[in-house]
Amino acid sequence: MKRISPLNTLFYLSLFFSYTFKGLKCTRVYKIGTKALPCSECHDIFDCTGCLFEEKESSHVIPLKLNKTKPNDHKKLQKHHESLKLGDVKYYVKRGEGISGSLGTSSGNTLDDMDLINEEINKKRTNAQLDVKNFLDFTTSNKNKAQDISDHLSDIQKHVYEQDVQKGNKNFTNNEYNQKKKKNEYNSDNQFNPNNEYNPNNEYNSDNSSIEKNFIALENKNATVEQTKENIFLVPLKHLRDSQFVGELLVGTPPQTIYPIFDTGSTNVWVVTTACEEESCKKVRRYDPNKSKTFRRSFIEKNLHIVFGSGSISGSVGTDTFMLGKHIVRNQTFGLVESESNDNKNNGDNIFDYISFEGIVGLGFPGMLSAGNIPFFDNLLKQNPNVDPQFSFYISPYDGKSTLIIGGISKSFYEGDIYMLPVLKESYWEVKLDELYIGKERICCDEESYVIFDTGTSYNTMPSSQMKTFLNLIHSTACTEQNYKDILKSYPIIKYVFGELIIELHPQEYMILNDDVCMPAYMQIDVPSERNHAYLLGSLSFMRNFFTVFVRGTESRPSMVGIARAKSTN
């Protein structure tokens, strides 16, 4: 009989203990519902070393307040970025951490800062899935409208929007400048040139010819709603208090429907679960992980903690299968909200008392990810390679008309050219801001500054260093529906300058009427960063007027944000 050498015995014992250890570790970390899984059944989530994944990430939560990340692979992006031929828009700003994301801020601002512009929508959302064909048919009869328009518009925006529709008003800054420049008709009260000097001769010297106007996915540039390909799909968005916009997302197997906010200002995914027993949680649609065959939960307790201005939510982390449109995203890491508390600053109301959203899907860059290995959008692209790495938002004044477009654009939602601006650093969707004017007053940018396009923030924002100046130039005043037109005539135009591209916001676009007060739809947020000069453009105060496109970059080109005048869909 052949003897087994001590070395062979040691080798086989080490294999046995290694296998046993990995199996035990995986059993400790993952489970489906209440059933533990061995490592051999975790291959669809991670490879076998994935059993140690939670141990490596145990110190991470899913906070909206972000920690500084180490420098990564942005050197290649910088190299290609500097060679871009985009007029004067060729800067690269290094920055550390960013804003805290949707609704919550790390600077102490509360949800109260986002003044309500309408009464709360009391009608419950229907459970019926919106049919894309009906959603796109803007000529259907009024009996299919979800709710009365007056529930969803500030009075100023509502009246002006309807007037613009009747008049066919088109107002995209550069075209207007160029046309009026030729006729020498531009109003000198609001006129300036790129060199920061006011031109008494009414001549605007900028030319758009050097601005890159080509949309990156050229094959989709002229896509209309009727021509939309199968790999480009629409996610209808519903209005919540006219301040947040949510769309349908399916989670689990069998699928459970939730309506999260699709947020370009964060990267993580989290949903409210049935484990949250607070009354405010019960008011929203909740995901039940125990009913999903594909759910995997971490055993690490309470490793999700998100602080908002009005309170906090906490829970755990797991993975499950998601479906957006017809596209499946498997093994997506996300946070599960299991408890909620308030800080007694909002009359005792909890977060979900304030606004009934059921989660957040972050559409930011991987550099901001604090849970899991891959963000939702990256996972979607990886598992659905036919989808182009881009998405766009159309925010309508009318509920039932807003949409998120995954994989492309649609001519039905914008007019004129899409102006592309390079993203400076792949964390937030931020671009270089060269100047900011309020009327004739230049209030930015002696220091390097930038704009962040954030669908998770309703209002536009100013840093604290500029807020006092802003309020001195644009202040709140008493007004009514009867006299607001005359009052707004005295308010200036706000101009954001990106190289040779100028974006104008007119008073009727940035002012709101609330409780007989005309006020600017701006709030103060300080972005924690090395330079602290960030200006957010949000969903309500900016994207309602401008169709906004988000395009992921490659090794040969940076990511970009595209801007075009939004088209009326009335």
Q: What is the largest CA-CA distance in the chain?
A: 106
Which contacts qualify for 227-232: CB closer than 8 Å, 24 or more apart? 228/408, 228/410, 229/407, 229/408, 230/326, 230/386, 231/384, 231/386, 231/387, 231/388, 231/407, 232/387, 232/388, 232/405, 232/406, 232/407, 232/408, 232/410
215-245: string of b/e by CB count within 10 Å (b at 16+)?
bbbeebeebebeebeebbbbbbbbbbbbbbb
Q: What stretches of 252-383 show up as alpha helix (H) in DSSP?
A: 279-282, 351-354, 376-383
Distance CA(354)–CA(114), nearest Å, equals: 11
Contacts 24+ apart (CB under 8 A), 227-231: 228/408, 228/410, 229/407, 229/408, 230/326, 230/386, 231/384, 231/386, 231/387, 231/388, 231/407
CB under 8 Å to 10, separation ≥6 — which residues? none
Residue 199 CB coordination number (10 Å): 14
Active site residue 44: no
Question: What's the CA gap between 371 and 386, in Å, rounded?
Answer: 26
List, in order, residues 6 or more apart from 188 with CB less than 8 Å away: 198, 199, 200, 202
Distance separating alpha carbons of residues 337 and 326, to the nearest angstrom: 26
263 part of the active site: yes
Catalytic residue among 242, 353, 399, 454: 454
Strands 403-406 and 233-240 come out as: antiparallel
Side-chain-side CA neighbours of residue 154 (13 Å): 29
Task: Say which amino acid occupies 547.
Answer: F
Distance, CA of 188 to CA of 77 (rounded, Å):
40
Rg of the Cα atoms in the chain:
25
Query: Which H or E run includes 159?
Result: helix 155-167
Residues paired with 297 in a beta bridge:
318
- E strands, 174-310, are 233-240, 244-247, 249-251, 256-258, 261-263, 269-272, 296-297, 304-308
Point out the catalytic residue in the list 242, 263, 353, 388.
263
Residue 567's nearest CA partner among 350, 392, 380 is 392
Cβ distance 81 to 558 under 8 Å?
yes
**Catalytic amino acids?**
263, 454
